[in-house]
Amino acid sequence: MQLFRFIKLLFKSEKEITSNTSMKKFLIVGLGNIGSTYDDTRHNIGFKTIDELASKEAIHFESEKLGSIATFRFKGRTFILLKPSTFMNLSGKSVKYWLTKEKIPIENLLVICDDLNLTFGTIRLKAKGSDGGHNGLKDINTVLQTQQYARFRFGVGSEFSKGRQSDFVLGKWDEEESKLLPERLEVACKLIKSFGTAGLNNTMNTFNGT
């Protein structure tokens, strides 16, 4: 029986091997805007989340085509972290390029973004959905021509006066938020690794509402 399995493995098609490898690769995209002006702003929580994960995994981002990339392995899975360099409103081009380059199926894509409709620190993982008014998601939906991919919405609250939405999302975290962020980022990093190892549904059940 062992000899039969060995022979079968030797003659396994390249397509099968590529498919199996691709299913164990995950593209984790943190949305944000490049440049020091946008550091530590609410709109850049996607960048901040995967920066935190990269720090925990002791890996560094390298400038590549259409974004910065960092990669690590965990429990037999490969996690490719991407910070698009195309600016928020043109994120789709970068996402599509890296999905194609790394031959990653769309079900292994996770996009992290800010959400004004959720109170600060609220975590909401969804399997699909509309852009909800988020320009980064809107461009990804347009370029990929689908809404069928996982998105991790990080609540940033909506404590702004009428007409001040842009100033709020592009503003820095306040003192209280800055104190609470480390714990929220800790949970966010665990969610990302769970997405790749436990699967989308299990991760939603475990982390949504935490």
Average pLDDT of the residues of the chain? 91
28: Cβ contacts below 8 Å, ≥ 6 apart:
50, 53, 79, 80, 81, 82, 110, 112, 192, 195
60 part of the active site: no
The arrangement of secondary structure in 17-24+38-207, i.e. its CATH architecture, is 3-Layer(aba) Sandwich (3.40)
Mean of pLDDT values over 15-40:
81
Mean of pLDDT values over 11-30:
70
Catalytic residue among 25, 43, 83, 184: 43
The residue ranges of every structural domain in the chain are 17-24+38-207
**Chain centre to alpha carbon of residue 118:** 18
Which pTM value belongs to this model? 0.88
